[in-house]
Structure 1
Amino acid sequence: MKNILQTSIYQEQNSHQSYNLSSYNRLLSVVKDLACVRTIEEIIEIVRLAARDLTNADGVTFVLRDGECCHYVDENAIGPLWKGMRFPLRSCISGWAMLNKQAAVIEDIYQDARIPLDAYKVTFVKSLVMVPIRVSDPLGAIGAYWSTRHRATPEEIGLLEILTDTTAVAISNVQLFQKLTNQNALKDKFIAMLAHELRNPVAPISNGVQLLKLKLG
């Protein structure tokens, strides 16, 4: 009996270690991918797939803050959630996570006053965790959902927090890249215009003289 128990514990530990290794390898791959992106759309596509893999969730949403609203930009789930919809910050759990700058862990949505049940009744969701993207000044949130009662484990929450931190850095990098691209485009336009004028410096003077002659008769 003792040997059987020891074998069972050993197998469970090995399984847990294997899960950890697999999860962190997946996370490392995501970090590398996010370091190379140049658009918000690329970030969303990578993160919505990775978040579900890392948590073994039945669904995931990617939410961005849009003023005083939560924009459910995209999802990866076994059934429809709220893709494309916007809700006031104070009326949804993603808004709660952003406003309170902390993760919301809900084992039973029907027992939590923060959940707007009318919005959830038409979905498969029974449990969830919602993690803000960047705690200091949240840009959005990533939500993971389960179709059966499930309390998110510390490991699942930790993986999502690393993912959201990486996502925040990726978004900042994309915004900086787009700003530099716009500045370079304006600079190139100005240089092209200046080069054109320098190639033909007499034309503006000649035109001015012609106008003056017309005025003087």
Structure 2
Amino acid sequence: MKPVRLLCAAILALTGLVAVGLTTEAANAASSKDLNVTYTKVIKNERFSAYGRLATHNIRTVKLQYRDDVDNAWKTLSTQKSSSLGYFEFTPSTSRTRYFRYYVPAGGGDPKISGNSKKITVVSQKVTFFAVTPSFQCSNLSPENVTMFAHFYPVRPYRSVHFSTNVGSLQAYQDAKGNAAVNFYPGASAFTFAGKATTDQENSAAAKTSAPFTYRQSYCDL
């Protein structure tokens, strides 16, 4: 019986080690030293989300740090407490390209955690394309609806866009590719207007307006 008992004990011990190993592996898979961000390319002063989950799943002090160059010392931008499960989130902004990371000081028997560096690049926002179609119609020949179309960079899905038209300001939203458009009836009178597309201020990023595009309607001799 003794060899059988020893064998059973060995199996139970091995099972326990495997279970512990699986638990540790699952915890490590759910956590990371990488700082997750909504965008790695941001507009000047635009607020973005920087978040993650700590490997030690209890409430800990988390610091969001940055530096202007890979050779510079890290500076603390903001400090907060993680949730009891190790989750944290910051909403920083930056006026220039910088490197960010999270840092957790040692405490309560837990070691310090130095997160991996994440480069956040500041880019110039642009209206890369803007057009009015058609650009001319005869006011006395039953004008068709007019479409105003714009494309913006960087892409910000659901960011509000306003188009200036002869019938007033019309609102649309950027899609997943940075496109926005409106379609409207211009009326049957003769006129000329300079249409524009403006993506509105959002998350502290300034508004951006396109160059004007001229639309014209006039009486046409038959």
Between Structure 1 and Structure 2, the one with more helix by share is 1
Q: Normalising to structure 2: TM-score of the pair?
A: 0.36
Which of the two has higher C-alpha Rg?
2
Between Structure 1 and Structure 2, the one with more strand by share is 2
